[in-house]
Chains A and B, each alone.
Chain A
Amino acid sequence: MSIVTVQLGQCGNQIGHEVFSALCSDSRGTHGLCSKKENESYQESCKERFFCEEESGVPVARAVLVDMEPKVISHTLSMAASSGHWKYSSHSHFCQKQGSGNNWANGHSVHGPRHKEAIMELVQKEAEKCDRLGGFFTIMSMAGGTGSGLGAFVTQCLRDAFPSSFLLNHVIWPYGTGEVIVQNYNSVLTLSHLYHSADALLVHENDVIHKICAQLMNIKQISFRDVNQVIAHQLGSVFQPTHTAGGGSGYSRNPLGDLLEALVPHPEFRMLGLRNIPQMPESSLPYSTFTWPGLTKHLRQILIAHAPMEEGIDWQVQPPPPGSSTNKALHFNTSIANLVILRGKDVHSADLGSFQDPSLYTSWLNPQDAFSAWRTPRAFNKYEKSASLVSNSQFLLKPLDSIVGKAWNMFASKAYLHQYTKFGIQEEDFLDCFTTLEQVISSYTNL
Chain B
Amino acid sequence: AVSLPFAVGQCGNQVGCRFWDLALREHAAVNKKGIYDEALSSFFRNVDTRSGDNGPDIYEGKICSLKARALLIDMEEGVVNEILQGPLRDVFDSKQLITDVSGSGNNWAVGHKIYGCQYRENIVEKLRKTAEHCDCLQCFFIIHSMGGGTGSGLGTFVLNLLEEEFPEVYRFVTSVYPSGEDDVITSPYNSVLAMKELNEHADCVLPIENESLFEIVNKIHQLINSGKLGTTVKQNSLVTSSAGTAKTLQEKPFDAMNNIVANLLLNLTSSARFEGSLNMDLNEISMNLVPFPRLHYLVSSLTPLYTLADVNVPSRRLDQMFSDAFSRDHQLIRADPKRSLYLACALLVRGNVQVSDLRRNIERLKPSLHFVSWNQEGWKTGLCSVPPVGHSHSLLALANNTCVKPTFIELKDRFMKLYKKKAHLHHYLQIDGMDQSCFSEAISSLSDLIEEYNELDATKGGPRIDPSRLKIAV
Contact = CB atoms under 8 A, between A and B. Distances in A.
Contacts of B370: none
A45 to B, nearest CB: 33
A181 B38 contact: no
Nearest to B138: A98
A97 B135 contact: yes
Contact of B292 (A220, A221, A415): A415
Given A182-B288, A222-B356, A227-B355, 10 more contacts: A100-B283, A101-B283, A221-B357, A222-B355, A223-B356, A404-B469, A406-B377, A416-B290, A438-B471, A442-B474
A101 B281 contact: yes
B470 A438 contact: yes
25 contacts: A10-B278, A69-B1, A69-B281, A98-B283, A99-B283, A100-B283, A101-B284, A102-B288, A103-B287, A177-B377, A178-B378, A178-B379, A181-B289, A181-B344, A181-B375, A221-B354, A223-B354, A224-B278, A405-B466, A406-B376, A408-B467, A409-B467, A412-B467, A438-B469, A442-B474
A99 B1 contact: yes
B271 to A, nearest CB: 9
Contact of A415 (B278, B346, B375, B472): B375
B286 interface: yes
Given A179-B381, A409-B373, A413-B374, A221 B278 contact: no
Most buried by B among A75, A406, A416: A416
A226 to B, nearest CB: 8
Contacts of A418: 292-293
- Interface size on A, as a range, is 35 or more
Interface string A82-105: 000000000000001111111100
B466 A177 contact: no
Contact of B291 (A103, A405, A415): A415
Interface stretch (B13-21, B124-132, B359-367): B359-367
Interface in A175-222: 175-182, 210, 213-214, 219-222
Given A99-B281, A221-B354, A225-B277, A181 B467 contact: no
B364 to A, nearest CB: 11
Contacts of A224: 277-278, 354-355, 383
Contact of B284 (A74, A99, A210): A99
B414 interface: no
A4 to B, nearest CB: 26
Interface of B: 1, 38, 135-136, 138, 274-275, 277-279, 281, 283-284, 286-293, 315, 343-344, 346, 354-357, 359, 362-363, 366, 373-381, 383, 466-467, 469-472, 474
B356 A210 contact: yes
B358 to A, nearest CB: 9
Contact of B288 (A72, A180, A410): A180
A405 B466 CA distance: 9
B279 A10 contact: yes
B26 to A, nearest CB: 17
Contacts of B466: 405, 409
Contact of B356 (A70, A103, A214, A416): A214
A177 B363 contact: yes
B467 A222 contact: no
A181 B379 contact: yes
A438 B472 contact: yes
B366 A177 contact: yes
A446 B470 contact: no
A212 B361 CA distance: 19
A177 B278 CA distance: 15
A30 interface: no
Given A406-B377, A410-B375, A419-B290, A71 B38 contact: yes
A374 interface: no
A124 interface: no
Contact of A97 (B1, B359, B363, B366): B1
A213 B138 CA distance: 37
Nearest to B42: A97
A219 B355 CA distance: 12
Contact of B379 (A71, A177, A409, A435): A177
A405 B469 contact: yes
Contacts of B343: 415
CB-based closest 8 A-B pairs: A101-B283, A97-B136, A222-B356, A178-B379, A415-B291, A412-B467, A224-B277, A223-B354
Interface in A91-148: 96-103, 145
Contacts of B291: 415-416
B342 to A, nearest CB: 11
A178 B471 CA distance: 27
A220 B315 CA distance: 11
A363 interface: no
B354 A75 contact: no
A91 B279 CA distance: 24
Contacts of A442: 472, 474
Contacts of A180: 284, 288, 380-381
A215 to B, nearest CB: 12
A181 B380 contact: yes
Most buried by A among B366, B380, B383: B380
A58 B281 CA distance: 35
Contacts of A72: 275, 279
A118 B82 CA distance: 50
Given A102-B287, A409-B467, A435 B472 contact: yes
Contacts of B275: 71-72, 75
Contact of A14 (B277, B288, B472): B277
